[in-house]
Amino acid sequence: MTTSSEPAEPTTDSADSNPLRPVSPPSSEARTQAAQRQRLLTKPAGSLGRLEGLGDWVSACQDRCPPAPLTRPRVVVFAGDHGISAHGVSAYPAAVTGQMVANFIRGGAAVNALADAVGASVRVVDIAVDGDTDPSVSTHKVRQSSGSIDREDALSQDEVLAAIDAGRAIADEEVDGGADLLIAGDMGIGNTTPATALVAALTDTEPVAAVGRGTGVDDAGWIRKTAAIRDAMRRARPVVKDPVALLRVAGGADIAAMAGFLAQAAHRRTPVVLDGLVVTAAALVAEESARGAREWWIAGHRSTEPAHSIALRHLRMEPLLELDMRLGEGSGALVALHLVHSAIATLSGMSTFDDAGVSTDTPALSTD
C-alpha cells in the first residue's frame, strides 16, 4: 500500500481487471406502455405528477406493465471504518461503527424501524470495520479499516478488487434470494470524508464547496475535514480517470463494495433506490465504468451534505424527497420507498376510463 502523502501512482493493471462494465438499460417498451396506460387511468393526465414517471420507471425495470407490487425490498448496510477518522474529521469515535453494527443486528437502529414501516428487510455486512464483528455479518470482510486517504492509499490493488467483488457477490446473493428492489445503506464513522473526496475529484469541485458537517463537526473539525479532502484529492489526481484506481486511492473498502453492489444490481436488472452522500458517491464512481447503470437507480432523497447535491447533479438525478436528512444507513431511501409503493399501486390498481365507465368527452360549448 502506498503510504506517502505524494500523489498516487496509477496502477497499470487496474483497467485490464476492471470488474465494472457497461449496463443494458431497462425496457423502453414497458416504459412506453406504462406511459400510455397513465393516460387511460381515471384521472386528469399528469395529475399524479412525479408518481407517474416513477411508476413508468418501475415498469421499465420489471419489463412489465402494469408493474407488480414489491414483495421483497431489501436494504444492505455496508459497514466500514476509515483511517481518516483518527484525525478529527468526525464528531464521533471510530468505535461507534462496530457498536452500530451490533445495533443493526439487534434491530434497534433507524434503518430497522423505517424498513419495518415499508415492508423491507435489513442485512448488514462488515466490509472494513476496525475490529471483530459477529461472524454472521463478516463473511465478506476485506480488511480492518481503510487507510487514511490524506496521507496513504485507502486500499491495495488486491483489496479494492476484493471489495468490488464482495459488493457484486452480495448483490447476486440478494437477487438470487428473491429481492425485487435493493437499497444500499452505509455505516462508518468518517465515511463522508472519502465520499466527498470522490465526488469533488470526479466533478472537479473545490473542497470548500463540497464539504459538509457530516455527523455534526464544529468549525475546527470542518477545517480539518476540508484540509484532509484537499490532500486526498491531490493524491488522487493522477488516477481520477480510472474508477477502480480512484476507489483504491481515495475511497475505501465499504465504498468500493457499494460501487460493485450498485453496478451488479443493474446488471441483474434490479431497481435500486439510492440513499445519501456516501451511497451516491459510490454510484457516481460506478457509473464512470458501468455506464448505463444509473438508469436502474432513482435518488431517494437529497441530504444536507453539499457534495450530495453535486453528485446528484452530475448523475442528472432529481431526488424524490428533500427532508434535511443526513443519517445514512439507507434511511432516506426507505422513506422514499413509500412513494415507490404508491407509484406501483396507482399504475396497477386504478381503473381505466373505459373500465370505470367514466366519460372522457369534452363538454360542448354553448352557442347561446
Question: What is the rounded CA–CA span in Å between residue 152 and residue 206?
Answer: 21
Grid cell digits, residue 142 = 476485506
Q: List beta partners, residue 352.
A: 41
Grid cell digits, residue 65 = 406493465
In the block, which residue shows the cell 455486512? 125
Question: What is the rounded CA–CA span in Å between residue 73 and residue 122?
Answer: 9
**From the CB of residue 197, how many other CB atoms can be counted at a distance below 10 Å?**
33
Task: Supply angle C-alpha 104, 284, 245, rounded to 5.
Answer: 95
Burial degree of 71 (CB within 10 A; 0-12, 13-18, 19+): exposed
Q: List beta partners, residue 321.
A: 301
Distances (CA, A) of 291 to 30, 75, 97, 285: 21, 23, 32, 10
Burial degree of 302 (CB within 10 A; 0-12, 13-18, 19+): buried
* End-to-end Cα distance, the chain: 87
Catalytic residues: 329
Question: What is the rounded CA–CA span in Å between residue 308 and residue 237?
Answer: 21
**From the CB of residue 152, how many other CB atoms can be counted at a distance below 10 Å?**
20
